[in-house]
Amino acid sequence: MQDSYWTLNQQAQSEMIIKKSRFITNAAPVKNEQEAVDFISSVAGNHKKANHNVFAYRIDDRIQKYSDNGEPGGTAGMPGFEVISQKGLLRTVLVVSRYFGGIKLGAGGLVRAYKEAAVKGITAAGVLQKVLYRNVHLTMDYQWLGQVKREVENAGGRHINIDYAEKVKINFLLRPDAIHKLSERLIDLTAAQIQVNEGQSIYLGVDFLNH
Please indicate, yes or no, whether residues 151 and 197 belong to a single structural domain of this protein: yes
pLDDT in tens, 169-180: 999 999 999 999
CATH of residue 73: 3.30.230.30
Please indicate, yes or no, whether residues 94 and 193 belong to a single structural domain of this protein: no
Last residue of a domain, one of 125, 145, 168: 125
Contacting residues for 40 by C-beta, under 8 A, at least 6 apart? 53, 55, 57, 93, 95
Please indicate, yes or no, whether residues 71 and 119 belong to a single structural domain of this protein: yes
pLDDT in tens, 47-67: 999 999 999 999 999 999 999
- Tell me phi and psi for residue 31, to 5 degrees: -90, -30
Please indicate, yes or no, whether residues 50 and 73 belong to a single structural domain of this protein: yes
5 within 8 A of 126, measured Cβ to Cβ: no
* The total number of structural domains that make up the chain: 2
Last residue of a domain, one of 125, 144, 172: 125
Supply the DSSP string of 8-57, one letter for each residue: ESS-EEEEEEETTEEEEEEEEE-SSHHHHHHHHHHHHHHTTTSSEEEEEE
Please indicate, yes or no, whether residues 84 and 26 belong to a single structural domain of this protein: yes
- Residue 178 in any domain: the answer is yes
Rounded to the nearest 5 degrees, what angle is found at the Cα of 112, between the Cα atoms of 110 and 118?
100
What residue numbers bound the domain in which 185 lies?
133-201
Please indicate, yes or no, whether residues 78 and 99 belong to a single structural domain of this protein: yes
Q: How far apart are CA 137 and CA 22, in angstroms?
A: 52
> Which pLDDT does position 207 carry in this prediction?
58
Cα 47 → chain centroid: 25
- Residue 210 in any domain: the answer is no
**For the whole model, what pTM was predicted?**
0.83
Please indicate, yes or no, whether residues 179 and 103 belong to a single structural domain of this protein: no
Please indicate, yes or no, whether residues 41 and 88 belong to a single structural domain of this protein: yes
Please indicate, yes or no, whether residues 23 and 118 belong to a single structural domain of this protein: yes
Please indicate, yes or no, whether residues 157 and 117 belong to a single structural domain of this protein: no
Please indicate, yes or no, whether residues 111 and 155 belong to a single structural domain of this protein: no
> Which pLDDT does position 210 carry in this prediction?
36
86 within 8 A of 58, measured Cβ to Cβ: no
- Residue 88 in any domain: the answer is yes
Show pLDDT as tens, one digit a residue, over the chain (211 residues). 889 999 999 999 999 999 999 999 999 999 999 999 999 999 999 999 999 999 999 999 999 999 999 999 999 999 999 999 999 999 999 999 999 999 999 999 999 999 999 999 999 999 999 999 999 999 999 999 999 999 999 999 999 999 999 999 999 999 999 999 999 999 999 999 999 999 999 999 875 443 2
Last residue of a domain, one of 73, 105, 125: 125
Residue type, 209: L
Question: What proportion of the chain, given as a percentage, has pLDDT over 90?
Answer: 96
H or E element that contains 93: strand 92-99
Nearest to 139 by CA among 179, 101, 103, 168: 168
Please indicate, yes or no, whether residues 107 and 173 belong to a single structural domain of this protein: no
